A = this chain, B = another copy of it.
Amino acid sequence: MGSLSVSANSSMAAERVVVISGKEVQRPVEILSATNDEFDFVTVEMKEKMDPKIFASSLRDSVSHWRQQGMKAVWLKLPIDLVNLVPAAVDEGFSYHHAEPDYLMLACWLSKTKQVLPSYATNRVHIGAFVMNDKREVLVVKESRGMFKRMDLWKFPTGFAEDGEDISEAAKREVKEETGIDSEFVEILAFGHRHEQFHGKSNLFFVCMMRPLSFVIQWQDSELEEAKRSLQLNH
């Protein structure tokens, strides 16, 4: 998404007419610094501390200004150390869009057309690693917590991909973390899509065929009870 800077300064001045003691006066309006994109969405990224009342007033004037300009929506990014500005933004009609540990993204739809704010991430990527050596031995583990602990089952190493992590990288990392074994990604054997898994989000589960590159299993006490290269698949 390309972006075009509307103002390099902290604010740009506009004028509005206010009535003080029955007398119309012009007073400068502080429009918050923002960038526009090709979809006519305005993005405000607050970085400096500001008094919440002054922020509320500037935000109100700014939203009114952008609405007049025909902008469709406003994104408002507030780092967590500016948390005291969040209530003011909600009072001005913003709702939450997404959050990461260190910031909250709010949004306000301005247009009269149907709301088409892009959705944030909706899925987690979950991998299962089928690590098989030349002797057709498969790497299996037991988990020290959760459902599989109670079932006392041997299972393949599994885990969730991290932010921005490729399926193949997630599989390599999980095998290494759980067993100490280095491995390389060969192919995806199967995948499935399950819903309502975590706070209403979906999981895409990929079974990855992996080839081991090392053969010394290291115990990971915190997460796994045992790691074992054991389940022989002889015909």
Contacts and interface: CB of A to CB of B under 8 A. Distances in A.
Contact of A96 (B38, B99, B201): B99
Interface residues of A, number: 50
Contacts of A124: 119-123
A124 B104 CA distance: 19
Interface of A: 1, 38-39, 80, 83-84, 86-87, 90, 95-105, 113-114, 118-125, 145-146, 160-167, 193, 195-196, 198-202, 204, 222
Given A95-B80, A99-B98, A118-B198, A113 B222 contact: yes
A55 to B, nearest CB: 13
B95 A200 contact: no
Contacts of A204: 123, 125, 204
A145 B2 CA distance: 13
Contacts of A122: 121, 123-125, 160-165
A202 B123 CA distance: 10
A114 to B, nearest CB: 7
A199 B162 contact: no
A121 B166 CA distance: 14
A125 to B, nearest CB: 5
Contacts of A101: 95-97
Contact of A90 (B38, B80, B114, B165): B80
A89 to B, nearest CB: 8
A117 to B, nearest CB: 9
